[in-house]
Amino acid sequence: MNCLALSVWFWRMSITGLYFAGNIGSNAQLKKVISGELNKDVVISCKYADAIQKPTLAPKISTQFSKAKVAEMSSLQWSYYKHANDRKRVAIIANTSDLNRCASFFHYSSSIISLHTAQLHIRGLIGSDAGFYFCSRIGYKREPDISQLIIKAVSISQVSFLSTPLEENKPAILYLNIIRFYPKKILVDWYAGKEKLQPSSLVSVETRCDGSFNAMSMIAFVPQANDHSKFINCYITHENTRIPKTLQLQVSYGPVNLTVRPEGEIVKIEDEPLELLCISNSNPKAKMSWMLNGTVLLSRVTNHLKLQVENISLSDQGNYVCSAENRLGTRFTTVQVDVIGSLKPGATDRQTRLVSGISVGVVLLLIIVTVLAIYAFKRRRRVARPEVGEPVYMVSSQPNTDVYESLEKADSEAPSTRKASCAIYENT
């Protein structure tokens, strides 16, 4: 029977527990402001009568009941309203149906410390406890003394990043989790270096069981290969305090900037060493390989692959191909290597003598050709320029009277002239 009566009593109080107590008179005064911390205990004192009585009762009356029981105790009730301008919506502290699991059933208790003063004990403050409190006696008209309970700000307890795997050219979302803070107002700014990113949004603000809050901010972007190892900075502003948080991006991308050293076409003499270095940039590291004419010479997972040939031969010439491959892509690059044959052992002296003989022969031939050219040039000049002072006479094969007269005249001239004349006559 007692259990049934208690159940009926709780049912009645849960339905009628919150109601409007009517207007509070304009003479009601705010007597004091009380500060409390989340999850801490606080005591609110209230004067409910004007009669001057003994300061305390003996023995002290104290209760450890729910809100509903406190409201009925000794015709004394505690009332509450949330906001200063909400005095018409006064609720009696009468049930615990609005409390969540963080608060125990005996969240409130009351005690009378004198014939006109009572105290309300609140254990484990939660955010919803903030507001205005006063006490009164049923049927007793008196302007209440009001106390305001303020919950102190709670600094952010934890900040952490959460992101989906970042891949080149694949849209991704970065999340910032902000754990346990109070009050609710908060601001988050995202930066890449000194550049402010697009306005971020608070995806959700969740109320915790103790009245504090959790929040999540997010930003969407498309990562590129050059974003790898860059830093994203977040600045969280709460209660005039700015908290920085930094995230280093880890972006997966296929091989880029595949290069070979030395570059260009390579010419080697037979038996010389050959060294080729292939460099790849990728995340994760790529499987790199060196191939010659389709045959794999060397392969391993790295970002730098070096191929060494101690004594290169004619069969080692051709197109050397370097490849780099991971799950996000593949790249190739090619370098041409040519090999020139060297002198064979045992044939060195013979070939040297042959080369020397050919060289000497060529030099002698050049000398002879030069001498002949000079001789021919001088001879041509000598024929083209006769000696000065000795006239040359030209006669025809049929001499006439004029010719004989000339000869006779020549006899009287110098001996050299006569000799020339005689020679001409003989020719006729």
Question: What DSSP assignment string belongs to 38-89?
Answer: TTS-EEEEEE---S---SS-SSPEE----HHHHHHGGGEEEEEESSTT-TTS
User: Quick one: which H or E segment has residue 420?
Assistant: helix 415-427
Domain count, the chain: 4
Same domain, 87 and 186: no
Residue ranges of the chain with per-residue pLDDT less than 50: 1-23, 52-72, 95-101, 347, 388-389, 392-396, 403, 407, 414, 416-428
- pLDDT at position 338: 93
Residue 48 burial class via C-beta count within 10 angstroms: exposed 0-12, middle 13-18, buried 19 and up: buried
- Determine, yes or no, domain membership for 168: yes
Q: Which residues of 195-226 are buried (b: 16+ CB within 10 A; e: fewer)?
A: eebeebeeeeeeebebbbbbbbbbbebebebe
- Interstrand relation of 266-269 and 187-192 (parallel, antiparallel or unpaired): unpaired
Which two three-digit tokens encode residue 121?
């004990």
Same domain, 133 and 34: yes
Same domain, 114 and 230: no
- Determine, yes or no, domain membership for 219: yes
Which residue shows structure tokens 């260009």? Answer: 264
Let me know: does 147 contact 157? Beta carbons within 8 Å. no
- pLDDT at position 409: 57
Provide the residue range defining the domain that includes 427. Answer: 389-428
- Determine, yes or no, domain membership for 147: yes
Which two three-digit tokens encode residue 365?
């031939």
pLDDT tens sequence across 21-59 = 444 555 566 678 999 998 888 999 888 776 544 444 444
The three-point CA angle 31-40-103 to 5° equals: 105
User: Is 144 in a helix, a strand, or coil?
Assistant: coil
- pLDDT at position 309: 92
Output the furthest CA–CA distance in the chain (Å, rounded): 193
- Determine, yes or no, domain membership for 368: no
Same domain, 53 and 105: yes
Residues 6+ apart with CB under 8 A from 285: 301, 302, 303, 326
Same domain, 242 and 327: no
Same domain, 101 and 219: no
- Determine, yes or no, domain membership for 71: yes
CATH number at residue 163: 2.60.40.10
- pLDDT at position 171: 92
pLDDT tens sequence across 348-366 = 556 667 777 888 888 888 8
- Determine, yes or no, domain membership for 274: yes
Same domain, 91 and 201: no
Residues 327, 117: Cα–Cα separation, whole Å:
76
Same domain, 193 and 226: yes
How many Å separate Cα 98 from the centre of its chain? Answer: 47
Same domain, 210 and 144: no
Domain limit, last residue, from 151, 183, 206 = 151
Same domain, 67 and 111: yes
Let me know: does 78 contact 110? Beta carbons within 8 Å. yes
- Which among 195, 49, 28, 36 has a CA at the least distance from the CA of 113? 49
Let me know: does 290 contact 296? Beta carbons within 8 Å. yes
- Interstrand relation of 231-238 and 117-122 (parallel, antiparallel or unpaired): unpaired
